[in-house]
Amino acid sequence: MDFCSIASGSSGNCIFVGTDHASVLIDAGISGKKVIAGLNEIDRAPEELDAILITHEHSDHIKGLGVLARKYGIPIYSSAGTIRALRQQQPVGPVDETLFHEVTPDQWFSVGELDIRPFRVSHDAAEPVAYRFCCGGKSVAVATDLGCYDDYIVGNLQDLDAVLIESNHDKNMLQVGTYPYYLKQRILSSRGHLSNEHAGRLLGEILNDRMQAVMLGHLSKENNYEALALATVCAEVTMGENAYKAEDFEIRIAKRDEPSRMICV
């Protein structure tokens, strides 16, 4: 499988997962134009896409969805609750109804040769999910927009070959920053976003001998910076109660608006 972040951060998210015969995007939270430019940069084309999987209806995950779905007729997969929210709020504009496909958390489905398992995450949206992909005995997963994690999340992220997890904010930067009180509370809540510290702890629970690459994503523009996220996550991994040290792995930041290095597992 090829695995790559096209854009990641509070201003827009779009992740690519593909094989020689199937390719999908997880979210299309940047403009359609930027998605197409990002695909071009990684030598892929929008015409090749077999599906766009949506994690939830927040704008940083769906900004380019309507344009892409209309222009290329790409099937859209998401939970029933997210699809309902997309239809009610109509943020994506008119989209052919037949393009929508409902998926059920904890039930595998297939797009070509990719087997995909959606699983629930705790976030303030209608029915948010994260996705795990499996093909040819290899597994990758994308888990962002979660306020907390538990055994269920950890269980869904076991035995991965590569992962992108959220490392949204530094708690101190958020607390002393300029965000209004209600927004700080929202982000810090169990239905908000994972801090750098929590990302490091979660990573400590899912690292395994197969893991080839880790991307930290969905960084806040206001309440985080790359070096801090990386240092905090690495410190948590190394000091945590697990068998590994951070330097045993390739851990890097998924950039806000440029494609990451292609990870091939």
CB atoms within 10 A of CB 101: 14
Q: Residue 38 or 217: which CB sits closer to Zn ion?
A: 217
Q: Which is nearer to Zn ion, 60 or 161 (CB)?
A: 60
**Which of residues 60 and 170 has its CB atom nearest to Zn ion in the complex?**
60
CB of 9: closest distance to Zn ion in angstroms? Answer: 9
- Residue whose CB is less far from Zn ion, 57 or 205: 57
Contact footprint for Zn ion (CB under 5 A): 58, 60, 145
Return the number of the residue (121 or 237) whose C-beta is nearest Zn ion.
Answer: 121
Instruction: List, as one string, the DSSP characters of the chain.
Output: -EEEEEE-STT--EEEEE-SS-EEEE---S-HHHHHHHHHHTT--GGG--EEE-S--SHHHHTTHHHHHHHH---EEEEHHHHHHHHHH-TT----GGGEEEE-TT--EEETTEEEEEEE---SSSS-EEEEEEETTEEEEEE-S-S---HHHHHHTTT-SEEEEE--B-HHHHHHSSS-HHHHHHHHSTTS--BHHHHHHHHHHH--TT--EEEEE---SSS--HHHHHHHHHHHHHHSSSS--GGGS-EEEPPSSSPPPPEE-
Shortest Å, Cβ 1 to Zn ion: 23
CB of 29 to Zn ion, least distance (A): 7
CB of 193 to Zn ion, least distance (A): 8
Residue nearest to Zn ion as judged by C-beta position: 58
**Closest CB to Zn ion among 123 and 237?**
123
Tokens representing 178? Answer: 């300029």
CB nearer to Zn ion: pick between 145 and 205: 145
> How far apart are CB 238 and Zn ion at their closest, in Å?
28
Q: How far is the CB of 143 from Zn ion (least distance, A)?
A: 12
Query: Closest distance between Zn ion and the C-beta of residue 252, in Å?
Result: 20
Cα separation, 127 vs 111, in Å, equals 21
